[in-house]
Amino acid sequence: MHHYGRTKRIRRRKQANTGKIVISKEIIALSRWMKHESRKHGFRWKCHLCPSHFSETGRGMMTKQSLSCGDLLVSIPKQLLITVETVLMSAIGGKIKGKNLKLSSQQLLSLFLLQEKSKGVKSFWFPYISVLPKSHDTYGDFSAREMYLSPPKLRAQAQNRITDMKQAYREVLDSSLGEAILYEDFVWAWFCVNSRSVYYRSAGSEFVREDGNNLALAPYLDLLNHSGGAQVEAGYNEKRGCYEIRTLNPYKKYNQVFISYGNHDNYHLLVEYGFTLPENPNDVVQVDYDDVLEAAEAVFVSNMEKKQEVIAQHNLHRKLSCSLEGLSWNLLLMTRVLAMDWTELQHWKSIMTGVPVSDRNEALSRQIAKTVLTKYIQQNRELITKFPEQKSQSAVEKMLFSILQTEERMLQLTWSSVT
């Protein structure tokens, strides 16, 4: 193992944060197109960022100047946003209106991408289409082996989303739009929208399903990478007629600039966006309510019916998890309720102070927690042993393996804390 001096460590961090400008013909064409079309509509193309390659994240956006809190990162005129209005004014939109269909904004945007992709260089949107990924590492493209190697809760999450996507695809096929849309093509478009769209509140339309998903695609903006620590103000500026992003973080010149997709754990990031974050502060190991009850019964806890009533009435069965910080608050309280004798149960609210009820209660509470954790540690180890050697792992399998290693660490640390 190499032990770097302070100066060398600082230099390495700086190198990881600064980028090498990416000169690809597609990116150059997109940048020129954005600048030209913005000016054509009376906007001055404002962007202090340029696409670059970074050692830790791959492609991202580098700032060409120092940025302060409140500085504008990028401004995209409405004419260069792909909204549901854009779709409804297009050829595919005419067919949708002609058949009086009502589709979700994600379905509409997906159909539009497929329409424009089929036009090739003749499409107005070709410079944007050409920089979209050819494939995704999200749930729609998980192989059977990747699904098999996924933690059960992540697998269930992915399977639920696949069910939703297949339903959306069937609706499109049943609408008889006259388009021979292959499932794999729909999956590509669906995930381009799913992973790259921004919130945009369109005017209501009889052809758009009100499902709470108000989406639009913003060319160039989706080159920005996610960081849990990034803070931005983003939204459509009605007065200026453009979609704007302002940073609430300062950045040094030549550093990578980030946005945040929200406070998501690595399950969500992998399933929805196809990437994970190292040391993600939102990561936890979710614990099933039934597993805690099973552990309590295994150590012969009494008065279970009354205890479950107390737990349900006060929602202590929700947000059960463990992390690098140990048991979640609700999981700690739940194990203490389950460990109570009848006398303690009459005054169960005393646990809300966080102070142990009694030595006997604390010992039994820890035993319940330890029983659950032992089961989860065993399941985690069994899944880890099923992975192929690292050199044979796919990109998704590498991310899954990293997730399982993080969960193993959380479980072991929590197990030690209750032992």
* The pair of three-digit structure tokens given for residue 130, joined into one six-digit string: 């050409």
For residue 309, being part of any structural domain is answered with yes
Domain count along the chain: 1
Domain that holds residue 322: 285-417
Burial of 100 (0-12, 13-18, 19+ CB in 10 A): exposed
For residue 166, being part of any structural domain is answered with no
Residue 53 pLDDT: 84
Q: What is the DSSP string of 194-238?
A: HHHEEE--PPP-TTB--SS--EEE-TTGGGSEE-TT--EEEEEET
Contacts of residues 123-130 at CB distance under 8 Å and 24 or more positions apart, as own/partner, are: 125/82, 125/219, 127/26, 127/29, 127/30, 127/32, 127/33, 127/34, 127/219, 128/30, 128/33, 128/217, 128/219, 128/220, 130/26, 130/29, 130/30
CATH of the domain at 358: 3.90.1420
Q: Which of 411, 383, 409, 410 lies closest to 397, judged by CA?
A: 383
For residue 297, being part of any structural domain is answered with yes
Q: Residue count of the chain, please give it.
A: 419
For residue 60, being part of any structural domain is answered with no
DSSP character for 73? E
pLDDT tens series, the chain, 419 aa: 444 444 444 444 444 456 566 567 888 899 899 999 998 888 877 677 888 888 777 788 999 899 999 999 989 999 999 999 999 999 999 999 999 999 999 999 999 999 999 999 999 999 999 999 888 778 888 899 999 999 999 999 999 999 999 999 999 988 877 668 899 999 999 999 998 999 888 777 888 887 767 899 999 888 898 888 899 999 999 999 999 999 999 999 999 999 988 899 999 999 999 899 989 999 999 999 999 999 999 999 999 999 999 999 999 999 999 999 999 999 999 999 999 999 999 989 888 888 899 999 999 999 999 999 999 999 999 999 999 999 999 999 999 999 999 999 999 999 999 98
For residue 68, being part of any structural domain is answered with no
Q: Which residues pair with 53 in a beta bridge?
A: 20, 59
For residue 99, being part of any structural domain is answered with no
Q: Which residues pair with 247 in a beta bridge?
A: 232
Cα–Cα distance measured from residue 168 to residue 191, given in angstroms and rounded to the nearest whole number: 12
Cβ neighbors of 184 (< 8 A, separation 6 or more) are none
Q: What letter represents residue 363's amino acid?
A: A
For residue 302, being part of any structural domain is answered with yes
Q: How many CB atoms lie within 10 A of CB 378?
A: 11
Cβ neighbors of 126 (< 8 A, separation 6 or more) are 116, 119, 120
Give me the phi and psi of 244, to 5 degrees please: -125, 150
Give me the phi and psi of 312, to 5 degrees please: -70, -40
Residue 222 pLDDT: 83
